[in-house]
Amino acid sequence: MAQPELVRDRGSATSPDDGRPDALVHLRADGVSVLLDLRAGELPSVVHWGDDLGRIDAPTATALVEAAVPPLLGNLVDEPVRVALVPEARTGWLGRPGLVGHRQGRGWSPRFRTTAATLDREPLPRALATGEGGGTVRVEAVDEEAALALTIDLELTPEGVLRTQATVTNRGPLYVLDELAVVLPVPAEARELLDLAGRWTKERVPQRRALTVGQHLREGRRGRTGPDAATLLTVGRPGFGFANGPVWGVHVAWSGNHRHWAERLSTGDQVLGGSELLLPGEVQLGDGQSYSTPWVYGVYGDGLDAQAARLHRMLRRRPAHPRTRRPVTLNVWEAVYFDHDLTKLRALADAAEAVGVERYVLDDGWFRHRRDDTAGLGDWYVDEEVWPGGLGPLADHVHALGMEFGLWFEPEMVNLDSDLARAHPDWVMATGGRVGVSSRNQHVLDLTRAETAAHVLDRMTSLISEYGVDYVKWDHNRDLVDAGSPPGGEPAVHAQTLAAYAIMAELRRRFPSLEIESCSSGGARVDLAVVEHTQRVWASDCTDALERQQVQPWTAQLLPLEYVGAHVAAEVSHQTRRVHSMAFRAGTALFGHFGIEWDLTQATPAQLAELRAWTELYRSERELIHTGTLVRMDVADPQAQQVWGVVAPDRSRAVFQVASLARAATAPSGRFTLRGLDPDRHYRVVPSTLSRDAFGERVPPWFGMPSAVGVVAPDGVTPRSTHPAPDDVARGTVLTGRALAGAGLQAPDSPPETTLVVHVEAVSSV
């Protein structure tokens, strides 16, 4: 990818007489502009973040800065308050400050002055520097009196994603840091909030509210990202949707404790902010020591789909992005649970291979003493009683069938009833001289201890090497409550998070082809930091297709679908006891990284044949699904219907689903539209016969069912809907992209909890 173009409009690379940077910086990329004010040696302030301003010169940039200066208001400070990326309370900023800390009660309100600033490592000119195609800005500042130094890094990626990070360095006696944050201003029109909430097995539930005076603060204190994480806290013009309406969002790329907030002041100022949530005394900086915030990502777009697309393009550009075709994956958990038997598991592998599975994952229960979830966690040795020949006979069988072999671990956790905990009780996180409360019968291993981390890494390395493990399902089933590091019990969530990243990174260094899935009680560790080290996330422990119709498209607000594990489970849901057809389960799982979580040895021949057809469909469509643009339609009744899919980058093809979630207040459901296609091209739209249970009792004429040929209404012109014959194959209809987006197609009167998969392909002639 081309490097950003550096353009200097006028001025030299010299600094003002006092040597401090004194410039404006304009970054542009993919329809987004960021205008930064670094004048007079102050910390950088964002003047504009949003729609592209076009090429501007220095006088225009200066005029834009002046146009943004608020009037002086009564009973406030006598100078206009300038909101920096790291806001300083000393300026009169009355919102949440960017740096909170002290040195025995001193140095708590610093006054930073910039000492150096660069764009793409080049010194800034006096007037205006422009980064075409994005760019990276670094600003260095000091407060000699407070004995603190501050570095702010800001990058606008080629996809128009803005990310920032701040680093504070202590230059004196011990400094206790409580919080270091970055904030991004948003315009006054952004008055509606959208973020995500949820719980275990029901992650990423959207919630909306007005942005009013005060803070909308979302704190994660679980020691992991959490099923209830805000994920992408967004504000926008009221009424924004998937298709349009300007939105600005923020995401803290961190898998430990964290904060997201939106704040509106009585002065009219509005900001989005993000930081790590530090426990008391968790970061104490000695002389010369530094702390860096997680990267805080800011994402602007015209509509939620445009916002998501920027993130997806950014992730797909990274060298670490998974580029091999995402294999059809079978996980054995809901098939066998803890009942491990070589004969059964081999038979399951045979059945999996026969329906097109390409990766076989042995889940929890293979290691010593692990007959249920009360014991054995941490004893990463194959259970000799259950597996007298080790895992080799199963791994070899799986590999011989041409499938990858995956293995479940929970490296950060331990049962007290384990050889590891008995031998090393000091390796278990605790504080206050007590053993913490258990959760899911388990506790947390203190990976901040070098010997503990080395032991875990050694055991995983040994097993991966011995059995040729291709894939690790990395689970994390416990919140970090009382997460202290013995013997003193000092808080250690920050260091524990970094230690987990380090083990993941080292495993990938030792085994470059190894893939890792982030599974944390399902979808409780889904963030932009963990995907620096993993190639898949398990979006939810709930495999119920109806619940997944919410979880998967909202997980895709952050991550492209190739990361999002989505499995076809048994007909009766393990979690909800709902009964769903194969077509609904598989049609839902199609839009993600497709897999299976079901005892196939108990399936009927007809079920296996139908499942095989769905895996073949996934394998034929996965390149489109995993490289295309996510499109989610704004529908009249989202509780009853959901329409979403993927359009190819060249807009030659698309695949959508029209999901009927519940009975609509009116019948039938009316027309649905399909967005994102070339308005001037013609497309053949064909409903998949695999999703026949969504056809309903009668199908609309556009389905092009052979049984409807020649059937006309009494007026002799208008075709009628008709009962589809069992062996009918739909021929579909041909419409322009403009017609599909503007007028649409009549939805069938589908039964609830069904989904209609629709194939769209450009045609050269009508």
Q: Supply the residues annotated as catalytic.
A: 475, 541
In angstroms, the CA 294 to CA 272 distance is 15
Given a contact cutoff of 8 angstroms between Cβ atoms, the answer to whether 170 and 148 are in contact is: yes
Given a contact cutoff of 8 angstroms between Cβ atoms, the answer to whether 366 and 630 are in contact is: no
Tokens of 655: 């695949």
Torsion angle, alpha carbons of 694, 696, 698, 701, to 10 = -20
Tokens of 312: 């997806």
In angstroms, the CA 679 to CA 681 distance is 6
- 350 Cβ contact partners less than 8 Å away, ≥ 6 residues apart: 401
Closest CA to 28 of 209, 140, 157, 206: 157
- Name residue, tokens 């679908």: 561
CB crowding 19-47: b at 16 or more within 10 Å, else e: ebbbbbbbbbbbebbbbbbbbebbbbbbb
Residues belonging to the chain: 766
Tokens of 610: 């139908």
Angle at Cα 224 formed by Cα 550 and Cα 531, nearest 5°?
70
Closest CA to 30 of 182, 203, 218, 157: 157
Measure the N-to-C terminal CA separation of the chain; round to a whole number of Å: 38
Coil, strand or helix: which one is 486?
coil
In angstroms, the CA 423 to CA 443 distance is 15
- Name residue, tokens 């259970």: 383
- CB burial of residue 483 (10 Å; 0-12, 13-18, 19+): buried
36, amino acid identity: L
Closest CA to 684 of 671, 697, 674: 674
Phi and psi at 210, nearest 5°, equal -75, 145
